[in-house]
Amino acid sequence: MFAQVPEFFCLACNNGDLGTTKLPMFPFFAMTEHPKKTKAATEHWMDADFVAALRHDMLRFSRLQLRDPAQAEDAVQDALMAAFAQSSRFSGQVALKTWVFGILKHKIVDQIRVQHRTTNASAMAQEEESLDQTFDTLFKANAHWTPVARPSNWGNPAEALEQAHFWVVFDACLNNLPANTARVFSMREFLELETPEICQELAITPSHCNVILHRARNALRRCLEKKWFTAGEQTC
Amino acid sequence: MLSCKDATRLLSEAQDRPLTLAEKMQLEIHLAMCRGCRNFKGQIAFLREACKHYIDPAQK
pLDDT per residue as tens digits for the range A47-106: 888 889 899 999 998 988 888 899 999 999 999 999 888 887 777 767 888 889 999 999
How close A43 gets to chain B, by Cα (Å)? 20
Q: Are B4 and A147 in contact (CB under 8 A)?
A: no
Cα nearest neighbour of B16 on chain A: A195
How close A207 gets to chain B, by Cα (Å)? 10
| Domains identified in chain B, total number | 1
CA-based nearest residue to B14, from B2, B23, B4: B23
What's the CA gap between A71 and A207, in Å, rounded? 29
Pick from A165, A189, A193 the residue to mutate for testing the B interface (most B CBs within 10 Å): A189
**Domain A121-229 = CATH 3.40.50.2000:** no
Phi, psi of A145 (to 5 degrees): -55, 140
How close A214 gets to chain B, by Cα (Å)? 5
Q: Which residues of A touch B51 (CB under 8 A)?
A: 189-190
CB contact under 8 A, B56 and A213: no
Would you state the torsion angle of the CA atoms of residues A94, A99, A105, A111, taken in this order, to the nearest 10 degrees?
A: 180
Distances in Å between the Cα of A107 and the Cα atoms of A77, A111, A209, A217, B37 are 9, 6, 22, 25, 37
pLDDT per residue as tens digits for the range B1-45: 899 999 999 999 999 999 999 999 999 999 999 999 999 999 999
pLDDT per residue as tens digits for the range A184-211: 999 999 999 999 999 888 888 899 999 9
Region for residue A152 given its phi and psi (left: phi exceeds 0; alpha: psi -120 to 50; beta: otherwise): beta
Asked, for residue B60, whether it belongs to a domain, the answer is no
Report the sign of the C-alpha dihedral through residues A45, A50, A53, A58, in that order: negative
What's the CA gap between A30 and A59, in Å, rounded? 24
Domain boundaries, chain A: 2-117, 121-229
CB contact under 8 A, B12 and A218: yes
Beta bridge partners of A139: A145
Residues of the domain holding B41: 4-52
Distances in Å between the Cα of A4 and the Cα atoms of A8, A28, A83 are 12, 11, 18
DSSP helix/strand/coil, A153 = coil
Give chain B's contact residues with A (Cβ, < 8 Å): 3-6, 8-9, 12-13, 15-17, 34-37, 39-40, 42-44, 46-51, 53-57, 59-60
Pairs of CB atoms within 8 A across A/B: 97
Amino acid in the structure at residue A227: K
Asked, for residue B20, whether it belongs to a domain, the answer is yes
Asked, for residue B59, whether it belongs to a domain, the answer is no
Amino acid in the structure at residue A205: T
CB contact under 8 A, A213 and B6: no
Q: What does the DSSP 8-state code read for residue B2?
A: -
DSSP string, A54-118: HHHHHHHHHHHHH--HHHHHHHHHHHHHHHHHTGGG--SSS-HHHHHHHHHHHHHHHHHHHHHHT
Asked, for residue B58, whether it belongs to a domain, the answer is no
Percent pLDDT > 70 in chain A is 78
Q: Which residues of A touch B57 (CB under 8 A)?
A: 161-162, 164, 167
CB contact under 8 A, A157 and B54: no
Q: What does the DSSP 8-state code read for residue A6?
A: -
pLDDT per residue as tens digits for the range A153-173: 999 998 999 888 999 999 999
What is the per-residue pLDDT for A1? Answer: 37
Asked, for residue B16, whether it belongs to a domain, the answer is yes
What's the CA gap between A9 and A148, in Å, rounded? 51
